[in-house]
A and B are shown apart, each in its own frame.
Chain A
């Protein structure tokens, strides 16, 4: 059955299995951490307003009991993925529950949550439970020691895309020439023991910026090549440990350190599995191995192609819109744009009724949490959403056809705060559309403080 066609080749299942176990493990940790930090209450129970994603307005928080139940489900399904129990159901439930939570409020969007959703989605279709799992223990006939090569390659491709686009996004003036935002962030780390004092120097910001860009651009490929793999993985560990220590980026570094283990050759994964399997000898792990050289349906091939194409197009969609993507954030999300901005703003809304005899400035903090206000202040689509909410809110409170004008000043990477949204545009009257959004003012003043 030897074939040179990519989709007909098969490889050891071991790397996929270790990936499944580690993914389930780190997800269970992430969910537990989220619960212990009190974030379920802070982010999904306490707020009264939520910034939903366009097209997903029907997604609502489920109330205190519902949210805790949903996170419990997420936790249990992560454990199930880890041990390979009812794998297909577990991955589906995990994907749905995790993605549901992420879709409740844009405020909490993080690229690594998007990454988790994608990975969970892919795992639904990958046979990662066909070895070293409770499913195999109970139904030995599903055991497989080989899987189609594309299953593992797909995960590797996804990882390479994440790193490469993160690197590509760093190739801009602010990051490379100005060393921004590193130049703003690093001086706040000078109190760190031992190494802290190096952050007093601007040169350090340049080293970090350039090394970060070089790392992101190259690491995916260096992990792929056998000659550089070990060194590359060492770099992965150093890089992510460093970012975990220096910046508040949560679980992301750990997720990446565990995920990239999949790049190692299968014999290492085999060894690892064998080590853990020893104490579990009682498990009948019969090698029925029917899956070797399984042909992949044409439709699956198309689906994979479509998925990868989308993964390349989505991060590049910002090219369709005018102006700086960091400023207008049109095409910013789902594009692996990480660590790129120190952005803060002050955005307020003036509501005027039709006759112009009632004028009120909305009190943001009566409607939004500090975190929501902070995120809304610098992101145009959230500003528009909130403006529409205010329009309806004031309509109910007796304003006739309220117009909503936005006064917004934003600072990006150390530039002076400057007007962000056209103050003459009635945002209440602007339809929620796809970009470009003409009411975003261009980034003009590049003076820095």
Chain B
């Protein structure tokens, strides 16, 4: 074979190449984009997200819990309709602040297991009553996760008739439990806020070494947490589970977020808004910085950006058309929830499949070999 003419082989290989092309493949791409510096881009996204999303989000949350705790103190001293309504307003404000912070399930947030302490719903009302009458409970334990946090406060404060709520606080046990709940929240949110500010996590997150796209990189962490939070807590927790999509079509209106307060729709809208802002880079303080969308533009993926924008917008429109009291919405017209679920599925596809793919991120929690 040494001295054979290699031409037939070359022809065969070329033929294979031609046969392997899909027929409707478009023209070869335009030559290279000139001066892009993707490392810097990724580093800037990490810095912007750290300084203008994560840190202010947990600062807002912490401040909201401080005010919640103070107002709870005032309320138990003098339970009136006025003090109750300011307390409920503080509760709502905290809940809204959580929607923004909730995306960042990593580092300090995960270490303190903040999510399960702050927003595991539906609340276990029997457990709460049991704790109150026992007067002896230990917040922050796994067994009490469904008896603490915002859903527990929602249950205690939001009877349909405010006078019923107020009269229930004649009981010292109720007062003690309320204060214990808000105190615990303030401490926990304070600890997480402090860890974000002082701990080494954000330094690593914004370091030069984290500017790649591997498992431990800032982009890798960010897109993975966006994907996970969206699927499990936004799509499933807020929509799919109460709408019966995960329970053989049997609706579970009691399982909506803020069931008693009746503003689950607003929280859902805030959660979607938080994603939109993260993607556009409009920071919480109003500062615009390097964003995922800018990055998509820089790698010539403007189409994907446009697709994100329209899909997120249509999900937001869907949500705004819903009854703010999601349990009523589910009981009256669950089809709207199912339609919303399908739109949210499209957003999952965009994050998990397209965004991850074009940025070069693997959606996984472990490092793996590939081939």
Is B33 engaged at the interface, CB distance under 8 Å to the other chain? Answer: yes
Kindly state the separation between the CA atoms of A374 and B365 in the bound complex, as whole angstroms.
11
Contacts of B358 in A (CB 8 A): 184, 414, 449
Is B167 engaged at the interface, CB distance under 8 Å to the other chain? Answer: no
A248 touches B369 (CB 8 A): yes
B22 touches A414 (CB 8 A): no
Nearest A residue to B31, CB-CB = A202
Contacts of B366 in A (CB 8 A): 39, 42, 370-371
Given known contacts A37-B367, A370-B364, A360 and B357 CB-to-CB distance under 8 angstroms: no
Given known contacts A187-B38, A345-B353, A361-B245, A202 and B17 CB-to-CB distance under 8 angstroms: no
B24 touches A446 (CB 8 A): yes
Contacts of A217 in B (CB 8 A): 13
Contacts of A172 in B (CB 8 A): 17, 20-21
> Which listed segment binds B: A84-92, A188-196, A261-269, A382-390?
A188-196
Contacts of B232 in A (CB 8 A): 365
Report how many residues on chain B are interfacial, defined by Cβ distance under 8 Å.
Answer: 67
Top 5 A-B pairs, shortest CB-CB distance? A250-B369, A188-B360, A188-B213, A172-B20, A173-B21
A191 touches B211 (CB 8 A): yes
Is A111 engaged at the interface, CB distance under 8 Å to the other chain? Answer: yes
Nearest chain B CB to A180 CB, angstrom units: 10
> Which listed segment binds B: A231-239, A296-304, A404-412?
A404-412
Kindly state the separation between the CA atoms of A444 and B36 in the bound complex, as whole angstroms.
31
Given known contacts A171-B16, A346-B348, A446-B26, A112 and B360 CB-to-CB distance under 8 angstroms: no
Contacts of B350 in A (CB 8 A): 417
Kindly state the separation between the CA atoms of A377 and B365 in the bound complex, as whole angstroms.
16
B354 touches A449 (CB 8 A): yes
B247 touches A360 (CB 8 A): yes
CB pairs A–B below 8 angstroms (18 shown): A187-B38, A189-B213, A190-B37, A191-B43, A191-B211, A201-B32, A202-B31, A248-B368, A248-B370, A346-B352, A358-B248, A359-B248, A359-B249, A363-B246, A374-B364, A398-B248, A410-B353, A443-B22
Kindly state the separation between the CA atoms of A344 and B247 in the bound complex, as whole angstroms.
28
Contacts of A370 in B (CB 8 A): 363-366
Is A176 engaged at the interface, CB distance under 8 Å to the other chain? Answer: yes
Kindly state the separation between the CA atoms of A39 and B364 in the bound complex, as whole angstroms.
14
Contacts of A191 in B (CB 8 A): 39, 42-43, 208-209, 211-212
A110 touches B359 (CB 8 A): no
Kindly state the separation between the CA atoms of A42 and B369 in the bound complex, as whole angstroms.
13
Is B70 engaged at the interface, CB distance under 8 Å to the other chain? Answer: no
Q: Name B residues whose Cβ lies closer than 8 Å to a Cβ of A.
A: 2, 13, 16-17, 20-22, 24-26, 28-29, 31-33, 35-39, 42-43, 208-209, 211-214, 231-232, 236, 240, 245-249, 299-301, 303-304, 307, 341, 345, 348-350, 352-354, 356-371
Nearest A residue to B23, CB-CB = A446
Given known contacts A110-B370, A112-B371, A360-B247, A177 and B25 CB-to-CB distance under 8 angstroms: yes
Is A348 engaged at the interface, CB distance under 8 Å to the other chain? Answer: yes
B245 touches A360 (CB 8 A): yes
Given contacts A202-B33, A343-B357, 13 further A-B contacts (CB under 8 A): A168-B13, A171-B17, A172-B17, A184-B357, A185-B360, A191-B208, A249-B370, A344-B356, A359-B249, A363-B236, A411-B354, A416-B354, A446-B22
Contacts of B357 in A (CB 8 A): 184, 342-344, 411, 414
Is A257 engaged at the interface, CB distance under 8 Å to the other chain? Answer: no
B368 touches A173 (CB 8 A): no
Is A399 engaged at the interface, CB distance under 8 Å to the other chain? Answer: yes
Nearest B residue to A112, CB-CB = B371
